[in-house]
Amino acid sequence: MPVTFSQIAAKTAKVKLVIKGDEDNADITINLVYYPNKFTQELLARAQAGEVTDKEYFPTLIKSWDIIDDTVDPPVMFPIERIDEFGIPFMQQLAKALGEDMRPNLQAPQMNGNK
C-alpha cells in the first residue's frame, strides 16, 4: 500500500525531559510528543543561520507536552507557541533532549591510530 508524504511527516515520537532539581525542588519530568520528520535539513540550516526563532522552531517540532498553564481556569496545556516565556536554559535542555532522541547512537568518530 502506498504511503503519503503527510503520513511520514505526521509520525510522532515520545521523549522525557528531566530537569534536575536542587535542595529546595525535586526533579521535574516533562513528557513530550514531537514530530521527528519535521526536523528537516532546511529547518536545521535556518536554525544554525539564526533565521528561525525558538518561538517558530519548537512549535514546528512539538505536538504536545504535559506542561500545564495554571494561570487559566480550568488549567490547560501550556501553549507551545508561548515557548519564549521560558528561560534559555530550559530551551537548551529541550533542544538537547529532542536532538538526543532523534539521534540516540550518535558518537564521535573513533581514531584507530592509523595515518
- Residue of 13, 7, 16, 6 whose CA lies nearest to 93: 16
Query: Distance (Å, rounded) from C-alpha 110 to C-alpha 115?
Result: 13
Q: For the segment 59-101, what is each residue's pLDDT rounded down to a tens digit? A: 999 999 999 999 999 999 999 999 999 999 999 999 999 989 9
- CB neighbour burial string for 67-105, b if at least 16 within 10 angstroms, e if fewer: beeeeeeeeeebebeebeeeeeeebebbeebbeebeeee
**Composition of the chain by helix, strand, coil, percent to 5:** 40, 20, 40
* Band of residue 44 on the pLDDT scale cut at 50, 70, 90: confident
pTM of the model: 0.80
**Cα 74 to Cα 7: distance, rounded to the nearest angstrom:** 33
Determine contact, residues 69/79, Cβ cutoff 8 Å. Answer: yes
CB 53 within 8 A of CB 82: no
- Domain boundaries in the chain? 5-102
> What is the structure's pLDDT at 111?
46
Question: Does position 3 have pLDDT exceeding 50, yes or no?
Answer: yes
In whole angstroms, give the CA distance from residue 96 to residue 75. 28
Tell me the percentage of the chain whose pLDDT exceeds 70: 90
